[in-house]
A = this chain, B = another copy of it.
Amino acid sequence: MSITTPISQENIVVGEVANGLPLTIPVYRLKGNGSGPSVYIQANMHGAEVQGNAVIFQLLEQLKQLNLKGDITLVPYANPIGCNQKSGEFTLGRFDPITGTNWNRMYHYNNNLVTQFAKDHSQYDDAALKNNFKQALIDEIDTKLNGPAYLLNTGKRIALNLQKLAHQADIVLDLHTGPISSKHLYCPTYATDSARYFNIEHVLLIPSDFDGAMDEASFCPWWHLSDALGAQGRDFNVQVEAFTVELGSQEKIDLTEALNDANSILSYLNHKNVLEDAPHKPSNITRYACHLDDYFAYYAPIGGMVEYVAPLGGHIKAGEPIAHVLRMERYLSEQPLQTLSLDCDAIAILHFASASVNQGTELYKFFTNVFEL
């Protein structure tokens, strides 16, 4: 018997541009049999980070041939403004071009809701707690979306529409890329074990702070609820897992790598019991982790033209060259070619997308104090 799960499409309206045309986002849905956790996956919230759309393509191509235990919702092109914001050849959609606000810092979180909920619902059993809290989160988003339109800015409206979809799921994956980058995973510390099921060598362990991003907006309420109930002496696991999956470099579509990344995600989903009789298993690779506090941004100490020489994903020793900076303005008056290095061992995760850097441009990000996962 051939297995196929039907896919449905809905286009949701998340805003209007100046000539009055609606901003829409396509939402694809596959139904599970209800026995597994539900999943929400989105891509391309930042305009230049397009590879996630290809991963969603490869996921759909495989998912339609599988039976599912949990429902899966997939949203490519999550940000219709960011996707289409060009300046020169490149896509500028990392922040709202009007305000500068990072599109991935506009999700909503209300800590008071959590505190109050923990106080009011401690008598509920686990299942009721979960259902009621999930509904409370969705209701709060709905209240904002249905409130006066003049209270919501452009990015908030997009973010809330996506967050409403995400809150309905037990597993949330936000597909991003770095500028020029190796693959890496933002993983909340409580879900460290799950990181072993993705085929991603570098794992960044993040705490329970809320800084506006989709992954945080998805796990913070549940994590803080777990903490609040814990403070009351009740053991209530964090019910939702959420990750930001960094797929590599921006401004690039690679369908073969997208298939690899789809398989990596399916391996994780299989582990989480979303798929029925699926073969997907994690690769046998060494995974390196560091804590967010040890994720080190190295800013250009001088302005100039940069040759990046640290291999991405590579282990760099203190003192090894990470970049050469060419300063042709001063060819005669000083050494025109300067070599940069680090004071400590590190893994180079990503570097700036352009060779032209001002003093103070973020040149590299490094894992430091690395340990095997």
Contacts and interface: CB of A to CB of B under 8 A. Distances in A.
Given A80-B21, A303-B15, A154 B361 contact: yes
B354 A251 contact: yes
Interface stretch (A83-91, A230-238, A278-286): A83-91
B21 A24 contact: yes
Nearest to A329: B20
Interface stretch (A120-128, A143-151, A201-209): A143-151
Nearest to A44: B19
A94 interface: yes
Contacts of A100: 94-96, 100-102
Given A9-B331, A92-B88, A299-B153, A304 B354 contact: no
A200 interface: no
B19 A77 contact: yes
A12 interface: no
A98 interface: yes
Nearest to A87: B87
Interface string A50-71: 1001101100100000000000
A301 to B, nearest CB: 3
Contacts of A7: 331-332
A156 B87 contact: no
B54 A98 contact: no
Contacts of A179: 89
A3 interface: no
Report the contact-size class of chain A (Cβ under 8 Å from the partner): 35 or more
A373 interface: no
A90 B304 contact: no
Given A20-B304, A26-B329, A151-B299, A157 B353 contact: no
B359 A157 contact: yes
Interface in A74-133: 76-77, 80-81, 83-92, 94-102
A154 B358 contact: yes
Interface string A285-311: 000000000000111111111110000
A157 B328 contact: no
Contacts of A8: 332
Contact of A57 (B56, B331, B352): B331
Given A26-B331, A330-B20, A53 B358 contact: no
A87 B100 CA distance: 10
Contacts of A307: 54, 253-255
Contacts of A19: 77, 80, 83-84, 303, 328-329
Contacts of A56: 328
A34 interface: no
A355 interface: yes
Contact of A50 (B150, B253, B340, B356): B356
Interface of A: 7-9, 15-21, 23-24, 26, 28, 47-48, 50, 53-54, 56-57, 60, 76-77, 80-81, 83-92, 94-102, 148-157, 179, 251-255, 297-307, 324, 326-333, 336-337, 340, 352-363
26 contacts: A7-B331, A15-B359, A18-B357, A19-B83, A19-B84, A20-B77, A20-B303, A48-B356, A53-B305, A60-B331, A76-B329, A77-B329, A84-B356, A86-B354, A87-B92, A88-B94, A88-B98, A89-B352, A91-B356, A95-B95, A149-B299, A150-B298, A150-B300, A251-B356, A252-B355, A254-B307
